[in-house]
Structure 1
Amino acid sequence: MSRRNARKNPTRPQRPAVSADTPCPCGLTATYGACCGRFHAGPTTAPTAELLMRSRYSAFVVRDEAYLLRTWAPETRPGEVDFDRSLRWTGLEIRDTTDGTAFHQDGTVTFVARYTHGGAPGSLHERSRFRRHEGAWVYVDGEFLDGA
């Protein structure tokens, strides 16, 4: 590979160093490949709203736009995902889940996602709504909550 081709593309966000054998960013004890990576790679889908939430968080960490769009409800899905190069996701804490199992059509997951932005720490506290669409869980929308 030439030196020119080895340069980072300035228009594309640099992906964090996550591989199939590294710990999963979602916080569960499995490796990325055995946990969220299997959903990102497809064709397996997350069996619960909580696992979909975790896999979507991990997709933000690894900047997997295709997965995020694929798991977004059609009526609220944006045209693209704008990844902020100066934002780095650093941890996920699930605070509460309501419904969202194999026996439900809807569910909510309340979580805190921690990050650094330009080196400063921050957090996003949200209650996300999920529903089944064509048999698979999808993210519908979320309500931002105060306090993390």
Structure 2
Amino acid sequence: MSVSIFDNPLVEPDRDMFTAALGHTKPYFDQAISLIEDQYGKTTTEWKFYGKKSGWILKLYCKKRNVLFLIPLAGHFRASFTFGEPAFQKIMLEELPGFNKQELIDAKKYAEGRTIQYKVEMDTEASNLLKFIRIKMEGRQM
């Protein structure tokens, strides 16, 4: 897992730190939140410190279900998703510019699915992020 820009276990990131770290990619995160809340329900977030190897990571939930983990980096972020088999199959059929599907194919398969980290730095990647969220949320509505 990528190391978060926030690696001090004694300092939980706040909104200003988060906004500054994401820089020009913060609107991409805001678009993701808007998509989820507009189509699937209220989101909640929780900062978790998983250790020096990963640092502070933002967990994003919708209706108490994990949607993604967001790893803040300098000027961009990585979104970590776990996709079950139906979502994996759907992704294999989707057109996802700039996304190497082989990474998902090669990901270790756990009971809950396959986990990938997806870098978001520009518009194309942000568009794919929204597709990943839609795929993840399909069939998850309560």
TM-score, scaled relative to structure 2: 0.31
Pair member with larger Rg: 1
More helix by share: 2
If asked which structure has higher relative contact order (CA below 8 Å, sep 6+), I would say: 2
